[in-house]
């Protein structure tokens, strides 16, 4: 989601990166690069990250991927409708509390999981005592708690830069985690599905309802060049996480990504081509979305970037395979 508003003090803090139009690319590139590097690290060495999660019977083939994707999207959509029910009854401040708790739980879990991976790598070189698992669990909780404190503490209420940094960190963690957790084809179906759902959610669904209650003063109508100095663009953490998920997938997928081209051709130089194509698509989509959001209060941020990103990334792989 991209939201445009006049620069003004805000009430509750929502999981969005707020920036000027001229700096719109910063959070996107930061999340893409950060999640990409983390994904590569997680798939490096002998203890390769193997944790693909699948609900449906794998023997169903593509059908299993579709079933898993529908379940994932359904859970996300149901959660959004539950949140809007809570917001209607408790007010928009309730959403901040819920997101703060979600950040704490999700941050602790992902950091613990990544730390366990590091311990596995270390254990292959030097025996590691089992107590380190509990030590790292406590450390992961403390790190997540520190990030949540920076995110929600009134002490940093006016420090938008700190809030933005925390949003980027969680965008990187979530994006790289989803890319590692979910298989390639299921991931692509999920990304396409959420891109379509984003259109509904922003136009008629939960996001529209929440933003209506949250930001009554959002800028509307056409914006001129002079207006661009007086507005702020809000990018939802969901957009950043899914952008990162897509681009990270190109770096680790052995089915439809850079590793496939390297395996077929033996040329390491082809590894980054799908990634570069996906990044280009995401940025082009974000630019188009911003051009459109000039005439709207709020616009879905996923469709353009996700579909153009998947299209260019797939085209790049297809072209490379023709010449291998």
Collapsing DSSP to helix, strand or coil, 130 comes out as coil
Domain count within the chain: 1
- Kindly report, residue by residue over 1-32, the tens digit of the pLDDT: 666 665 554 555 789 999 988 898 999 999 99
CB-based burial of residue 223 (10 Å sphere; 0-12 exposed, 13-18 middle, 19+ buried)?
A: middle
Neighbours of 57 (CB within 10 A): 10
Quick check: 56 and 67 in contact, CB under 8 A?
yes
With a threshold of 0.85, does the pTM exceed it? Answer: yes
Per-residue pLDDT of the chain (324 residues; tens, 9 = 90+): 666 665 554 555 789 999 988 898 999 999 999 999 998 888 765 444 555 667 777 778 889 999 999 999 999 999 999 998 898 888 888 888 999 999 999 999 999 999 988 888 888 888 888 899 999 999 999 999 999 999 998 888 778 999 999 999 999 999 999 998 898 999 999 999 999 999 999 888 888 777 776 655 444 455 555 455 567 888 999 999 999 999 999 999 999 999 999 999 999 999 999 999 999 999 999 999 988 887 776 789 999 999 999 999 999 999 999 998
Range of the domain at 288: 2-323
Q: Token pair for residue 241?
A: 């996480």
Does residue 35 contact residue 168 with C-beta atoms inside 8 Å?
Answer: no
Residues β-bridged to residue 3: 234, 298
């Amino acid at each position: 989601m991209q939201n445009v508003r006049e620069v003004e003090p805000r009430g509750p803090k929502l999981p969005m990166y707020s920036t000027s139009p001229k700096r719109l690319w910063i959070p996107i590139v930061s999340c893409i690069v950060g999640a990409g590097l983390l994904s590569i690290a997680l798939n490096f060495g002998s203890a390769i990250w193997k944790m693909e999660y699948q609900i449906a019977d794998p023997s169903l083939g593509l059908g299993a991927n579709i079933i898993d994707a529908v379940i994932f999207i359904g859970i996300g959509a149901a959660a959004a409708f539950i949140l809007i029910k809570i917001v209607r009854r408790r007010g928009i401040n309730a959403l901040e509390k819920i997101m703060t708790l979600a950040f704490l739980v999700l941050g602790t879990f992902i950091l613990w999981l990544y730390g366990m991976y590091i311990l596995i790598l270390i254990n292959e070189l030097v025996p590691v005592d089992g107590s380190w698992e509990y030590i790292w669990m406590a450390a992961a909780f403390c790190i997540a708690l520190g990030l949540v404190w920076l995110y929600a503490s009134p002490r940093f209420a006016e420090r938008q830069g700190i809030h933005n940094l925390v949003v980027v960190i969680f965008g990187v963690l979530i994006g790289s985690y989803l890319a590692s957790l979910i298989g390639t084809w299921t991931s692509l179906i999920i990304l396409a599905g959420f891109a379509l759902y984003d259109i509904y959610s922003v136009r008629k669904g939960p996001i529209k309802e929440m933003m209506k209650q949250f930001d009554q003063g959002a800028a509307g109508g056409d914006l001129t060049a002079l207006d661009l100095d007086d507005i702020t663009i809000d990018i939802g953490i969901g957009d950043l996480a899914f952008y990162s998920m897509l681009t990270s997938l190109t770096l680790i997928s052995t089915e439809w990504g850079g590793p496939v081209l390297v395996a077929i051709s033996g040329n390491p130089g082809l590894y980054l081509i799908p990634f570069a194509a996906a990044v280009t698509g995401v940025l082009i989509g974000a630019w188009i979305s911003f051009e459109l959001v000039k005439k709207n209060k709020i616009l879905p941020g996923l469709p353009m970037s996700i579909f153009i990103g998947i299209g260019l990334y797939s085209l790049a792989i297809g072209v490379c395979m023709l010449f291998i």
